[in-house]
A and B are shown apart, each in its own frame.
Chain A
Amino acid sequence: KQEVTQIPAALSVPEGENLVLNCSFTDSAIYNLQWFRQDPGKGLTSLLLIQSSQREQTSGRLNASLDKSSGRSTLYIAASQPGDSATYLCAALSGAGSYQLTFGKGTKLSVIP
């Protein structure tokens, strides 16, 4: 059974710092990996989707990488801003045509002005 882990559970950084959020998964046979952002009391917003054949995806100040062999994905946030404060979750989809999406429990990011 797939397990997805995000460490640390919480992270606090000063504004302007570049940072990396980590996501690890136990079963490398994934179809894709998706990163989400969640603000308090709200739903999840899709940030980046990496298909299993891809190594990375970029959107603005965000860059997500995927290394299936090591069971790891990272989300890089450049020049962090207070508005980036949120909980970031990753989710791995196991197998094409499967509906088995496994979520990590998230990393709560605080960017201090």
Chain B
Amino acid sequence: DVKVTQSSRYLVKRTGEKVFLECVQDMDHENMFWYRQDPGLGLRLIYFSYDVKMKEKGDIPEGYSVSREKKERFSLILESASTNQTSMYLCASSSLTGELFFGEGSRLTVL
């Protein structure tokens, strides 16, 4: 079965802390994505990666960075967390057909 695993389901951090959200997929997919989901705003793309060490900005990259050192792992980094980054973060990977598979999500609260 297809599996995308996000390391943390729930996190609570303080303003200014550095936050790492990790995502691992076991499907050998080239493409991986990070979205955030907020009520009324829907899903918004933060960053995506189409190969190891490659990354592209999505629609809302400000305040975020990413790392893809291995094909199966895509990390989202909040260098200095702020309250407006409180959100649900969703990682996904896509197959050659373009089908997208999501992880369970990471609910981040920044106090």
Contact = CB atoms under 8 A, between A and B. Distances in A.
For the residues of B in contact with A, the DSSP-based class is strand
B97 A105 contact: no
A44 interface: yes
A44 B97 contact: no
Interface residues of A, number: 22
A70 interface: no
Given A99-B50, A101-B45, A104-B42, A45 B102 contact: yes
B90 interface: yes
A60 interface: no
Interface string A18-44: 000000000000011010100001111
Contacts of A31: 98
| Those 6 A-B pairs whose CB atoms lie nearest each other, nearest first | A43-B102, A44-B102, A43-B105, A105-B42, A103-B43, A43-B104
